[in-house]
Chain A
Amino acid sequence: MLKRLWKAFQGTRVGRSIFRVGLPANNLERAQAAISSFLLHMQPAKVNRRVLKFRTTLGLGLISLYLFVILTATGMLLMFYYVPATDYAYQNMKDLEFVVTAGQVLRNMHRWAAHLMVLFVVLHMCRVFYTGAYKRPREFNWVLGVMLFLLTLALSFTGYLLPWDQLAYWAITVGTSIAGYAPVVGQKLKFMFLGGHVVGESALIRFYVLHVILLPLVAVMLIAVHLWRVRKDGGLARPDEPQATQEDLTPAQLPVTKTYGLMELARGTTPAVGINPEDEVFTWPHLVFREILLFMATVAVLLVLAIFWNAPLEQIANPVHPPNPAKAPWYFLGLQELVAYSAFWGGVVVPALLVTALVALPYVDRKRKGVGVWFSGERKVALTMFTICLSVAVVLTVIGTAFRGPNWSFQWPWKPVHVEEHGAP
């Protein structure tokens, strides 16, 4: 019944004008489905079978993108309620929790999606590294990825302040003071971000504008270029040597005659170069359906998180009453841990070196070895170095998050030290 109605609608002038192609019934229409749709044309009409395999990418980049979409949607809805003023911001959070329909769920989804996005962007980066997918011709796309990673951190960090509670206030105070350790420009930079020497009204409005306009806009543009280059660089990275030869294919799959459309021609490792095009499948439905399923799974996980765990909200920001310890957002706690040893090394040298190393990586590691292969034995040195850096970062972050108590002294996470508050009220 629904199917017939849908078919009837597609048959009308209006239906045709919107969808152009109906539900594809043959290969021509399948190709057209991908090419003529705005959303789907980001992908070629046909993709390599490898792309469909979950282990090729683990869906990490796509999940990051989905989280960005969900964050945009929930963030937009939250903007209908939020007032970026110190007198109202915290009260808005309370109203979202207590009187706005679905307000708490919305905020929870936004919060958890933001944390997950940082996590998945990092995981995506690890995937690209461990499969050697940043090598020629994809070097610059890796650099774009690093920029997107930094943007993700900036988006999360600017959003962190907006609830205007103790957690927000002191995390931003700590975070921006890490920026202040940079030589010469540090204090100026801090002043520019905060619009003053301490976190206050001007910092809130700056962070808000960055969070809802500037950074998302830049992110959308960079994401577009990032995806565009994936497409133009011949899809997902894969080993140079053809995986399937003509002999591997059954006679039934062999082409009798074959012509190639423009969409199948791209630079580098393309479907048309050195490999039988019959190792390919149509994007619609094989890839598109999998992508939709992954989106549904992402939404489902987020909904579970949002239903069962509320986003944190502490007391209203109190500039004269710092918590002990005051901690930056979790993804900066590795840095804060380093800062505890040395402000200059932890706050300036290490982060600067890290970003430089990440950007330079594809230009230094130039040998086309192990592309498209997980943990290729040909890249032992690169793999070892990256793994060591990653482990150190993870260990420092975990220590900073779970093992640091009052005055940044060591504590076991299951035996938190409580400091009674003394002194003047």
Chain B
Amino acid sequence: MDTPLRKFYPWFTALGLLVGGLVIAAYYKDQFREWKTWQREYVKTELARASTPAQRADAARIPVEIRQFVLPELDRVDRCTSCHAAVEDPSYAGLRVPLAYHPNHDRHPFDKFGCTICHQGQGRATTREAAHGHVEHWDRPMLEMKYIQSACGKCHLPTDVPDAPKLAQGHDVFEKAGCIGCHKLHGTGGVIGPELDKVGANRSPQWLLTHFKNPAVVTPGSAMPPIKASEADLDALTLYVLSFTGEPLSAYYVSMKTIPGPAAGRRLFEEKGCLGCHSVGGKGGNLGPALDEVAKRHDPAWIVAHFRNPQAITPGSLMPQFDFTEQETRALTEFLLSLTDTNVIGFLKVPGAVSPIERGKAVYKKYGCAGCHGADAVGGIPNPNSKTAQQVPGLKFVSEGYTKDELMKRILDGQREIPKMDPNKPPAPLYMPPWRGKIAQGELDDLVAYLNSLLPKGEKVDF
């Protein structure tokens, strides 16, 4: 070695140590992961709980590793259990999160549903901040627990879920406020406001709540009237609207949609027109037997078998064989079993037994007319610069200005141009959308019957 080489030694030493140190630092940073702390904690707890040598050996064998649910059908990988290692262990019930048991997961097993389908957040992440979604560039943080029932509405119908009363309440507010008069949801509704199919995935609860109370604050220039409802109702509405995520469901999840419970059963019972042949509480048809006390005559297994193939159980039965899914059959059966309770019967909608006016009222609600014309058609919704006192007109006196045919034509064709109060100002934002092709003729008849019934008593109906 010649002398000039020596001067390199300190440089090689210094840079060698620096690079080596940096590699070690990078490795340490990579190896230190939050979830390992919690899994070690879990193993430690298990070891402390173990009372026999065999249990101790089992506990010692628990691996510290990434735990995840891979759910290709739901397009997600949930690694939440890397920290929440005890969610499936009931003996951790009520303990401190993250090492706590998750109650009520029997109906939604983790290996089929994972976590984020209900809770949101970032399933692939393995740090607390990132997984809970409270980081930059992650739009869907974990759902606040007060809105958790909205998750049920992603798959189930809002009125079907017995454990989600707020979802049903929100649905009710949504209908009463007449949102779909202007907004389209799942293909039905007006075109004045934007479609709502994915609004729950794109907006935060705070945004929605503000939007309901005062639309113009978050959407300047919005024509939408504020929704007048109690704080609790608006909260429920927010919760319900959050369930509009538009996530596509694969076949398995669609088949699980109907909850086998009396609520879904009743919905199916009404939808399928069972009362056309059967009667309950004296209402309905008489082609088939009355169903009031069907639970006393038959056991559940008989009812289920009868749904599957009526003629096999009752030879010569006139009842058609419906293609109910397993879940639907169970739902209908549970509903039939609940019929002994007379309270249920009172709520039943019986076709034919309801007056056209009553049905028209339902149509008025169904198509969201209340959104602009007000609840019970009293009007009062502001529509700046419209000639009708800058408001959408109420419909109480509609029978005085229109014949039946004119009214029908008006509903079917709508009115795009609203006469201006001040011709120099911009046109009124709200207008009457055409309902042709959207509303059925029967519904239209009922709606007109309802509208004509609104004239206060003592006033002349016809000209």
Q: A residues engaging B (CB < 8 A)? A: 25, 91, 94-95, 97-99, 101-102, 104-105, 165-166, 285-286, 289, 292-293, 296-297, 299-300, 303-304, 306-307, 313-315, 420, 422-425
Contacts and interface: CB of A to CB of B under 8 A. Distances in A.
Contacts, number: 80
Given A94-B125, A95-B124, A307-B29, A424 B18 contact: no
A97 B122 CA distance: 13
A420 to B, nearest CB: 8
Interface of B: 1, 4-5, 8, 11-12, 15-16, 18-19, 22-23, 25-27, 29-30, 66, 77, 79, 122, 124-127, 130, 137-139, 194-195, 198-199, 202-203, 218-220
Given A307-B22, A315-B139, A286 B4 contact: yes
Contact of A425 (B11, B79, B199): B199
Q: Which 8 A-B pairs have the closest CB atoms?
A: A424-B194, A303-B22, A296-B15, A425-B202, A98-B126, A94-B124, A314-B137, A425-B199
A307 B219 contact: no
A15 to B, nearest CB: 19
A94 B122 CA distance: 10
Contacts of A97: 125
A406 to B, nearest CB: 16
A149 B4 CA distance: 37
A425 B203 contact: yes
Nearest to A285: B5
A99 B25 CA distance: 18
A289 B202 contact: no
Contacts of B195: 424
Contacts of A314: 137
Given A420-B218, A424-B194, 20 more contacts: A25-B1, A94-B124, A98-B126, A98-B130, A99-B79, A102-B27, A105-B26, A105-B30, A289-B5, A293-B12, A296-B15, A296-B18, A296-B19, A303-B19, A303-B25, A315-B137, A423-B194, A425-B194, A425-B202, A425-B203
Contacts of B11: 293
A286 B2 CA distance: 11
Given A297-B15, A425-B198, A98 B125 contact: yes
A292 B15 CA distance: 10
A99 B5 contact: no
Contacts of B22: 300, 303-304, 307
Contact of A101 (B19, B30, B79): B30
9 contacts: A98-B126, A293-B11, A296-B15, A303-B23, A303-B25, A314-B137, A315-B138, A423-B194, A425-B203
A297 B124 CA distance: 35
A150 B373 CA distance: 64
A422 B18 contact: no
Given A296-B15, A315-B138, A289 B26 contact: no
A296 B220 contact: no
Contacts of A304: 22
A102 B26 contact: yes
Nearest to A304: B22
A307 B25 contact: yes
Nearest to A91: B124
A424 B137 CA distance: 20
A306 B138 contact: no
